[in-house]
A and B are shown apart, each in its own frame.
Chain A
């Protein structure tokens, strides 16, 4: 299990607030990593991180910002992504 050193920039990852994005510096990695904390994470430390974030251990959580869809020019209509 990786060791969490610092957690910064928490922001909700969706409108429902069921996931939180943040930057986590783990002892095992040289740089901070983008991390999605979720109560449904199969890893126990991920669930704990989500609980700590919600509890305010790492400061306030910024509200969700809907991403701007990237421009994806598609010449072949059959390649359009299909959401199941």
Chain B
């Protein structure tokens, strides 16, 4: 096949109609400096171009329908591309990997996935709370557990209330030794 050259008119359209043959047809553009496809006009999005005369260095391109592509510059150091539900912006990146916080024993307020407050449980006799109690069955070692019915809310001197009594399971967090005020110590409700 020979070369195709234009002469005379400076406007008009050229339609290339390669023969319907098996395989691909290749249009090879000449290695020249200057405008190849058209004159100085930009190649529009609908023509398969960007619609811009140049692209800002290091910016990210965003599709924009049939209009010229948009760009998002990097912004500040540490920024990330962030969606606002419609488009993308350069925004400060998050730190850490925590996705949720569950309120464990003795805490209230969870589960938090965005923002919120974790607080200590302060309800008398609730799981996770401490109580100063008189242990009614003699000695009890640190770390041992006992039923709430064996405990009486008390003063440090051994004076105690017969009612109400705690419910649940309590862990001795001190030491109870036989002998009145010696049977008073701290307990933690664990279940």
Contact = CB atoms under 8 A, between A and B. Distances in A.
Contacts of A70: 136-138, 178
A33 B31 CA distance: 86
A21 B149 contact: yes
- For the complex of A and B, the 7 pairs showing the least CB-CB separation, nearest first, are A36-B148, A41-B167, A13-B149, A34-B147, A38-B167, A79-B180, A82-B159
Given A35-B191, A36-B147, A79 B167 contact: no
B168 interface: yes
B77 interface: no
A82 B160 CA distance: 6
Contact of B149 (A14, A42, A80, A84): A14
A80 to B, nearest CB: 6
A81 B148 CA distance: 19
B168 A41 contact: yes
Nearest to A75: B179
A43 interface: yes
B72 to A, nearest CB: 47
Interface residues of A, number: 32
Judged by DSSP, the binding face of A is loop
A72 B137 contact: no
B73 to A, nearest CB: 51
A2 B169 CA distance: 12
B191 A42 contact: no
A8 to B, nearest CB: 13
A13 B167 CA distance: 11
Given A42-B124, A79-B179, A84 B164 contact: no
Contact of A84 (B123, B137, B162, B169): B162
Nearest to A26: B191
B162 A19 contact: no
Interface string A64-84: 000100111110000111111
A2 B164 CA distance: 23
A43 B160 contact: no
Contacts of A42: 123-126, 167
Given A34-B147, A41-B125, 19 more contacts: A19-B149, A19-B167, A29-B190, A33-B169, A33-B190, A35-B191, A38-B148, A41-B167, A43-B126, A71-B178, A72-B178, A72-B179, A79-B181, A81-B158, A82-B157, A83-B160, A83-B161, A84-B161, A84-B162
